Structure 1
Amino acid sequence: MTAVDRTAIAGSGVAAMAAAILLAEAGAQVDVFEAKPELSALGSGITLQGNALRVFDRLGVWEAVRDAGYVFEGLNLRAPGPGAPIVAELPDVKTGGPDYPAAMGMYRPDLARILFERAEQLGVRVHWGSKVTGVEQAGDVVRVEVNGEPAGEFDLLIGADGLNSTVRGLIGIETTPEPTGMGIWRSFVSRPAEVTRSELYYGGPVYIAGYTPTGEDTMYAFLVEKAQDRVGVDDDQAARIMLEESQAYQGPWEQIRSDLAAGAHVNYTWFTSHIVEAPWNRGRVVIIGDAAHSCPPTIAQGAAQALEDAFVLGELLTSRDTLDQSLWDEFHARRIPRAHAVVEASVQLGRWQIEGDRDADAPGLIFGIAHKMAEPA
Structure 2
Amino acid sequence: MPAVRNVLVVGGGAAGAAAAILLAEGGVSVDLVDAKPDVSALGSGITLQGNALRVLRELGVWDQVKAEGYEFDTLGLRAPDPAGTLIAELTDIRTGGPDLPATLGMYRPTLAKILIDRAGAAGAKVRFGTRPTALTQDGDVTFDDGSTGRYDLVIGADGLRSWTRRAVGIDGEPQPVGMGIWRTFTRRPESVTRTDLFYGGPAYIAGYCPTGADSIYAYLVEDVQDRSGLSPDEKLATMRQLAGAYHGPWDEIRDSLTDPATVNYTAFESHVLDGPWHRGRVVVIGDAAHSCPPTLAQGAAQALEDASVLAELLLREDAVTGELWSEFTGRRLPRAREVVEASLQLTRWLLAHERGDVPGLMGRIAHLVASPA
Matching residue of 2:12: 12
Q: Following TM superposition, by how much is the alpha carbon of 1:261 offset from its aligned partner in structure 2, in angstroms?
A: 3.1
Q: CA deviation at 1:24?
A: 0.2
Structure 1 counterpart of 2:67, one-letter code: D
Counterpart residue type for residue 360 of structure 2: G
- State the Cα deviation string for residues 165-211 of structure 1 (Å, max 9, x = none): 00000111121100100000000011111111000001100100010
Tell me, what secondary structure is at the counterpart of 2:136? strand
Quick check: 1:349 aligned with 2:346? yes
Task: Specify the alignment match of 2:328 in structure 1.
Answer: 331
Residues 1:362 and 2:358 aligned together? yes
Q: Distance in 1 between matches of 2:75 and 2:314?
A: 37
Letter in 2 for 1:319: R
2:217 is the alignment partner of 1:258: no
Matches within 5 A, 1:22-171: 22-40=22-40, 42-138=42-138, 142-147=139-144, 149-171=146-168
Unaligned runs of 5+ in 1: none
Opposite residue 298 of structure 1, the aligned amino acid is T
SS at match of 1:255: helix
Q: 1:273-288, aligned counterparts within 5 Å?
A: 273-288=270-285
CA contact (8 A) 2:34 2:127 kept: yes
What is the distance in 2 between the residues matched to 1:261 and 1:130?
Answer: 35
Residue-by-residue CA offset, 1:24-59 (whole Å, 9 max, x unaligned)? 001111001101111116530000000000001110
Q: Does the aligned pair in 2 maintain the 1:209–1:224 contact within 8 Å?
A: yes
Alpha-carbon distance in 1 for matches of 2:99, 2:176:
37
Deviation at 1:357, TM superposition (A): 0.3
Following TM superposition, by how much is the alpha carbon of 1:137 offset from its aligned partner in structure 2, in angstroms? 3.6
- Work out the CA distance in 2 between the residues paired with 1:66 and 1:79: 31
| Secondary structure at the counterpart of residue 63 of structure 2 | helix
Query: Is 1:175–2:172 an aligned residue pair?
Result: yes
Q: Distance in 2 between matches of 1:40 and 1:154?
A: 27
**Residue 150 of structure 1: how far off its partner (Å):** 4.2
Which letter maps to 1:219? I
Amino acid of the structure 2 residue aligned with 1:233: L
Q: Partners in 2 of 1:330 and 1:320 — Cα distance?
A: 11
Comparing 213-222 and 37-46, the one that deviates more: 37-46
8 Å Cα contact 1:235-1:265 kept in structure 2: no
Aligned equivalents of 1:33, 1:264: Cα separation in 2? 27
> Match for residue 305 of structure 2?
308
- RMSD of equivalent CA atoms: 1.1
Q: Are 1:376 and 2:352 counterparts? A: no
Mapped partners of 1:248, 1:30: distance in 2: 50
* Structure 1 position 240 matched with structure 2 position 241: no
Q: Percent identity?
A: 56
* Amino acid of the structure 2 residue aligned with 1:272: E
For structure 1, which segment, 146-155 or 241-250, has the greater mean C-alpha deviation from structure 2 after superposition?
Answer: 146-155
TM-score by length of 2: 0.98
Q: Which amino acid aligns with 1:372?
A: L
Q: In structure 1, how many angstroms separate the alpha carbons of the residues matched to 2:298 and 2:192?
A: 21
Give the match for residue 203 of structure 1.
200
Paired amino acid for 1:368:
R
Runs of 4+ aligned structure 1 residues displaced above 4 Å come to: none
Q: Is the 8 A contact 1:134 1:148 kept in 2?
A: no
Check whether the contact 1:133–1:166 (CA below 8 A) recurs between aligned residues.
Answer: no
Question: Is residue 184 from structure 1 mapped to residue 181 from structure 2 by the alignment?
Answer: yes
User: Alpha-carbon deviations, 1:57-107, whole Å to 9, x = none?
Assistant: 110001111111000011000101211010010110111111210001000
On the 8 A contact 2:137/2:168 being kept in 1, the answer is: no
| Superposition deviation, residue 313 in structure 1 | 0.1
Residue 289 (1) aligns with residue 286 (2): yes
2-structure distance, mates of 1:176, 1:230: 22
Q: SS of 1:297's equivalent?
A: coil
The alpha-carbon deviation at position 320 of structure 1 amounts to 1.2
Cα deviation, residue 143, structure 1: 0.6
Change (3 A) 1:44 1:63: same
Whether the aligned pair in 2 keeps the contact of 1:211 and 1:220 (CA below 8 Å) is yes
Determine helix, strand or coil for the equivalent of 2:340: helix
Deviation at 1:148, TM superposition (A): 7.1
Deviation at 1:262, TM superposition (A): 5.1
User: Does structure 2 conserve the Cα–Cα contact (< 8 Å) formed by 1:243 and 1:261?
Assistant: no
- 2 CA distance for matches of 1:153 and 1:211? 45
Give unpaired runs (5+ residues) of structure 2: none
CA distance in 1, matches of 2:267, 2:161: 13
- How much does 1:346 deviate? 0.1
Between stretches 306-315 and 148-157, larger displacement belongs to 148-157
The 10-residue stretch of structure 1 (35-44 or 69-78) with the greater mean CA deviation from structure 2: 35-44
TM-score of the pair, normalised by structure 1: 0.97
Which of residues 277, 293, 299 is equivalent to 2:296?
299
The answer for the alignment partner of 1:269 in structure 2 is 266
Aligned pair partner of 2:227 in 223, 227, 230: 230
- Number of residue-to-residue matches in the alignment: 373
